[in-house]
Structure formats: structure tokens, C-alpha cells
Homo-oligomer: A and B are copies of this chain.
């Protein structure tokens, strides 16, 4: 039974999608679930450090992150790198490549990742048959835009200390909401100071000294190749930022 065996290579059929279990994500109707289930064409799992999507290429795929996390980045010809955002469970990856024909950024895994695979050619079918889901796709694109606006404000107008505080609070908040890290425990994220530097538009050396400053103020701690958040509210206050309340959000 080939179809059965093909099915069985999937870790998660849509009915048991790990995202549905989380209260921060919205529910599907039966019709939607059936459609998405058929829309899903497989799963992609990649190692930590692997490139998921590459600038300048055209993939036939579109993904939703199921497990793990990674980052989106762009490079200048001489190698300078800017991380523009992070991708976490529930995020749609590669939509730009689908709509604009070609990827304008790359995506790399920060941990082992599991992604749900869709086919870009069938996105129009989704738009035709499930307007509510199409609306959700636009919602996701719009929220990404909103996050980018915030990041731009940060990089353009905040000092190094404020930028770091904002980034850490932002990542911790999203990681909790997406189920990447437990909601109750102290947030901890496996990330390198080089990544932080490339996100904030700072040098590695200065990033290190800035981390040190926030550690002295007992707002965070750096240990074992990762960042531990000690005082989420203190960080947010320092950045002059308030997290918007987490209402159930859509996903595919």
C-alpha cells in the first residue's frame, strides 16, 4: 500500500499538527482542515545550521514551521550580513519566493527544524476555494511587515543597549507564544552573539560588551551558548516597548 507508506513517513498528519494543540493558534473548521491536509505535500526536516532557502533561487515550495527555529537574512556583495527576522513555529516561510517569483533573502536553521511543505503552484487554489485561509495568509504577511517596521525602528533609532534589550524581549515573547520554549520556565534561547550582532547592526565585539552591560544589570545572562532572560519587563521597559497581547493567530 504505497499511499499508506507515504503517509506514514510523516511525523504529523494535519489532524495531529503540533500547532493546533497550542492555544495561541486559531482552530480550523473541518472543511479547512481537510483542504490544508490535502494542500500539505510532505515534511522537510533540516539540521541546525542548514540553509532552508537561498536568496536568488526559486523553490517550488512554501513552508510552515512546525518545530525549531531559524533566521532570515540578506547579504551585501562583500559579505556583510543583516538578519532581518526570525522564523518560529506557525510562521510561513517562502511566501515571497512564491509571489515575487524569486527569493530575496535566505533562511538558515538555528536548531533542527521540521517544516510542513506546500506547493507554490497550488496557492492560487487555496485563494479560490478558501477565502478565509487566503485572508490568513495576508494576515501573516501583514504581521511580518509590522515586525520588520519595529526592527527597523530599533536598528535605526535605538542605542546598542536598547536594541539588545528590545531584541531579547521580542524573541522571548515570540518563542513563548509559538511554543518554541515552555511558557512558564525562564526563557532561554540557543543563539550566538554573532547572530545578535548581525541582527542589531553592531560588531561582534561591541555586542559582547553590550551583553555584558545587560548582564550586570541582571536583565539577562549569557551561558552555555545561549541567552537566558532574567527580567523580561525590565528589558521591555529599557527598550521603551510594550508587547501586544497574544490573541489567537492564524497559520496554515
Contacts and interface: CB of A to CB of B under 8 A. Distances in A.
Report whether over half of chain A's contact residues are helix, strand or loop; otherwise say mixed: helix
A210 to B, nearest CB: 15
A74 B127 contact: no
Interface stretch (A3-11, A19-27, A137-145): A137-145
Copies of chain A in the complex? 2
B201 A157 contact: yes
A82 interface: yes
Nearest to A101: B247
Nearest to A75: B153
A148 interface: yes
Contacts of A142: 95-96, 99-100, 141
Nearest to A144: B145
How many of chain A's residues touch chain B, expressed as a range? 35 or more
A83 to B, nearest CB: 8
Interface stretch (A128-136, A181-189, A218-226): A128-136
Given A77-B240, A95-B142, A127-B127, 5 more contacts: A76-B158, A99-B138, A124-B131, A127-B131, A151-B152
